[in-house]
Amino acid sequence: MSQDLGTTKHGTTDVPVEELFLKRWSPRAFAERSVENEDLRKIFSAGQWAFSSYNEQPWRFVVGRKGDSVWTKIFDSLTPPNQSWAKSAPVLYASFARKTYSHSNSPNRAAAHDVGAASAQIVLQATALGLYAHGMGGFDPEKLRSELNVPDDFEVGFCWALGYRGDPETLNEQQKQMELQPRHRKPLSAWVFGEWETPAF
């Protein structure tokens, strides 16, 4: 590989935080190497322990491995730009959110929030195992819903590519550039407030 991306992509903070948060990033180049079943179980087991409103656990994930029909259904729903790099990912999975509480059938305003929390735990456990995940909003949700027979009571969430990092040289020029550039974040002062729009720290 042309460059040590572990350094280029590594997050930075003014004060020390757990390494896992800084190590995670979203690659587009994935290696051919497949993901062990046991590792997939570990990854989703981390999601199992996310918090959720009323402990509803509104998340559902549908997981496909390259070569199986679920992988193909998720892949077919992706936009062409996402397909052009996600084609090398050994695992594609999609998230869904139950829109109502099971105890009352009333709308669960926290559903998407809680699926996001589980998704983050899943991705961070993958990071701990040396794997990388890349979220995708560029797909056709209704096509995916229909292909995967998702009931109406579930919101279609997002698609994810998962695997080991690959060689950026396999990407097209624009993707390669994104793969090699450093990551950026807003400073805390822009989003952690004491009074509204007044930095907390």
In whole angstroms, the minimum distance from the beta carbon of 82 to ligand FMN comes to: 5
Nearer to ligand FMN, 55 or 81 (CB): 81
Distance between alpha carbon 103 and the CA centroid of its chain, in Å?
Answer: 29
Of 99, 154, 94, 85, whose CA–CA distance to 119 is shortest?
94
In whole angstroms, the minimum distance from the beta carbon of 122 to ligand FMN comes to: 12
Binding site for ligand FMN (CB under 6 A): 25-26, 82, 134-138, 158, 183
In whole angstroms, the minimum distance from the beta carbon of 15 to ligand FMN comes to: 19
Nearer to ligand FMN, 36 or 142 (CB): 142
Alpha-carbon gap, residue 106 to 101, rounded angstroms: 6
Q: What count of other Cβ atoms lies within 10 Å of the Cβ of residue 83? A: 15
Of 78, 81, 110, whose CA–CA distance to 94 is shortest?
78
| CA angle (151, 157, 163) in 5-degree steps | 115
In whole angstroms, the minimum distance from the beta carbon of 112 to ligand FMN comes to: 10
Nearer to ligand FMN, 27 or 64 (CB): 27
Q: Is 127 helix (H, G, I), strand (E, B) or coil?
A: helix
Nearer to ligand FMN, 26 or 53 (CB): 26
